[in-house]
Amino acid sequence: MTSHLPVTPAWTCSGCGADWPCQTRQRELRAEYDGVPVSLALYLAAHLVDAAQDLAHVPAGYLHRRFLGWTR
């Protein structure tokens, strides 16, 4: 079980305080979703939608890179 969970509405990491998903959570998610990248993208896209509502002042392109850009 991870301690690197999102703290809303700021979308920071509960484990390290960085923007979520932090580097640690990204590594964990890559391992958890190994071999099923579409499932990982869908999981993160759902969080992206929620974060976009909470972080309306943050440019959409930045949020896209933050939540989905690292999955390639």
pLDDT tens digits, 12-59: 999 999 999 999 999 999 999 999 999 999 999 999 999 999 999 999
Cα–Cα separations (whole angstroms), residue 49 to 2, 9, 43: 22, 12, 10
CB atoms inside a 10 Å sphere around CB 60: 11
Per-residue pLDDT band at 72 (split at 50, 70, 90): confident
Contact call for residues 41 and 10 (beta carbons, < 8 A): no
Show the DSSP H helices in 1-72 as ranges.
Answer: 23-32, 37-54, 60-67
Q: What is the pLDDT of residue 5?
A: 97
Confidence of residue 64 (pLDDT cuts 50, 70, 90): very high
Confidence of residue 2 (pLDDT cuts 50, 70, 90): confident
